[in-house]
Amino acid sequence: METIKKNLTERRSRSMIQITDPRIEGYLMKLQPEDDAQILAMEEKAREMKFPIIDRLVGRFLHLLTRLKQPKLVVELGSGFGYSALWFARALGEGAKVVLTEYAEKNIAYARQMFEEEGLADKAEFRVGNALEIGQEYDNIDILFIDIDKYQYPAALEAMLPRLAQNALVIADNTLWYGRVVEENSNKDSEAVKRFNELMFSRSDFFTTIVPLRDGVLLSYRI
């Protein structure tokens, strides 16, 4: 949580590139009204707590990718209080599940409550602890979602590669890191994000692309 809060403050205080024109983002949000009570409650909570969650447009995108992929097992590295996990879970078929990983017990408790209210608790495993350590307990992961501290991205990839199913999809958020990947002044986080992107694109056993949706969503499909 401390790291998360620090990151959020950093993001807001530093100059950033506006990746997408705000009028376009406004149009997209207006087209896609949301009436799901749990989704709206989580968004409200994130605003109140200034807690970083994925954008709703990213959530909808994850949801659609999950419907296309029809995975049996989704593992999230870095779940916060479960907002992205809920978008995954709502797209899962019979017998499939999403594993949430998060340091803060109270975040996981809140996630569990939201999942129960939505009737989706049987589609999730709620795990408290180190995301990388927990992630490596799983095998045949169909979708790996990476959204932990940015400096950990390259290490997460290395640790999790042996855990992926054939034809797995790796999804990573913040891979444009508020545009800092193209800025001169870099720090530990932006260097790590750049290295992670280069690692993924250099692998011939994955087909990789980045979609400039909000803060940049990397998609990498294991061939």
The footprint of a copy of itself (CB under 8 A) covers 17-21, 23-28, 31-32, 57, 60-61, 63-65, 67-69, 167, 169, 176, 179, 181-182, 197-198, 201, 207-213, 216, 219, 221, 223
User: Least distance in Å: CB of 38 to a copy of itself?
Assistant: 17
Q: How far is the CB of 161 from a copy of itself (least distance, A)?
A: 18
Structural tokens at position 115: 């999942």
Task: Compute the least distance from the CB of residue 91 to a copy of itself, in Å.
Answer: 8
Q: How far is the CB of 2 from a copy of itself (least distance, A)?
A: 30
CB 160 within 8 A of CB 136: yes
Question: Which residue's CB is nearer to a copy of itself, number 93 or number 129?
Answer: 93
Q: CA-based diameter of the chain, in Å?
A: 48
CA distance 96 to 80: 21
Cβ-based nearer residue to a copy of itself, 3 or 209: 209
d(CA 156, CA 22): 32
Smallest separation (angstroms) from a copy of itself to the CB of 119: 17
Q: Which is nearer to a copy of itself, 107 or 174 (CB)?
A: 174
Q: Which is nearer to a copy of itself, 82 or 216 (CB)?
A: 216
210-213: list long-range contacts, CB under 8 Å, 24+ apart. Answer: 210/175, 210/176, 211/61, 212/19, 212/20, 212/176, 213/20, 213/55, 213/57, 213/58, 213/61
DSSP-derived pairing of the beta strands 164-172 and 124-128: unpaired
